[in-house]
Amino acid sequence: MAPSRQATAPPAFVRMIDHPVRWRLLTALAGSDHRVRELVQLVGQPQNLVSYHLRLLRRGGLVTARRSSFDARDSYYHLDLDRCSAELATTGAALHPALREPAVPPFGGSGPRWSHETSVLFVCTGNSARSPIAEALLRHHTAGSLDVASAGTSPKPHLHPGAVQVMAAEFGIDLADQQPRRLAGLEGRRFDAVITLCDRARERCPEFKQHPRRIHWSIPDPATASDADEAGFPAFRRAAADINTRVRHLLPALASTD
């Protein structure tokens, strides 16, 4: 008896990534959020073709887009690495049950190890919410084994109460005594990675002499969200969860550079 069409057709994920342009887009977005014109340069294809394949990736649930907070005419594209991981596991299991990867704890255990010399800087505009949250989470999840800092291009006088509250409630991390820091003056320090967390800060972040890896995470400012002042600070919960996921995916990339 001939095998059924359902049994012989490759999974939808395989069909989605089995195109050279889409694969190059996924590879570019795996390391950083990008705008269309940047992706055009990175993949070396016309904008209309890049936009077409981005639409397919969005339709497949692998890529999301959000308007830039710096220039609303632009959009930043983001790769959902958790979705990719789940699809890869499902694809492996479709080929053979032994290829389904077991769930692995995101931190600790037998995971990657990092050099004490590895240094990371998180940057946003006010250094009052997103970048201190990222700094605290990366330090927490690596047990202080990395040199981690955060700063703002135009720092606020104090951390936002929502950032302090969500870190204490969701992660047991106390940021009450932390103060925003000014980015100016840090250009002389050595960093392996400089990560901007807001679109405005990305445009204003200076170049560093040591040419660290530049990464952008386009994350909305929770302080300006419509529900930022509601009980429980849901906007800050969303931001912290997004940052925590991105930090989890950052860790193996940092370990691979040691």
pLDDT digits (tens, 9 = 90+) for 140-180: 999 888 999 999 999 999 999 999 999 999 999 999 999 99
Task: Select which of 16, 198, 215, 219 is catalytic.
Answer: 198
Q: What is the mean pLDDT of residues 196-203?
A: 95
Task: Select which of 123, 163, 205, 215 is catalytic.
Answer: 205
Domains of the chain and any CATH numbers: 5-99 (1.10.10.10), 119-256 (3.40.50.2300)
Which DSSP string do the residues of the chain spell out, in sequence order? -PPPHHHHSPPHHHHHH-SHHHHHHHHHHHHS-EEHHHHHHHHT--HHHHHHHHHHHHHTTSEEEEE-SS-TT-EEEEE-HHHHHHHHHHHHHHH-GGGSPPP--SSSTT-----TT-EEEEEESSSSSHHHHHHHHHHHHTTT-SEEEEEESS--SS--HHHHHHHHHHH----TT----BSTT-TTS--SEEEE-SHHHHHHPPP-TT-PEEEE-----GGGSTTTTSTT-HHHHHHHHHHHHHHHHHHHHHHHT-
| 84 labelled catalytic | no
- Rounded to two decimals, the pTM is 0.88
Least confident stretch, 116-120, 127-131, 147-151: 116-120
Task: Select which of 39, 57, 79, 124 is catalytic.
Answer: 124
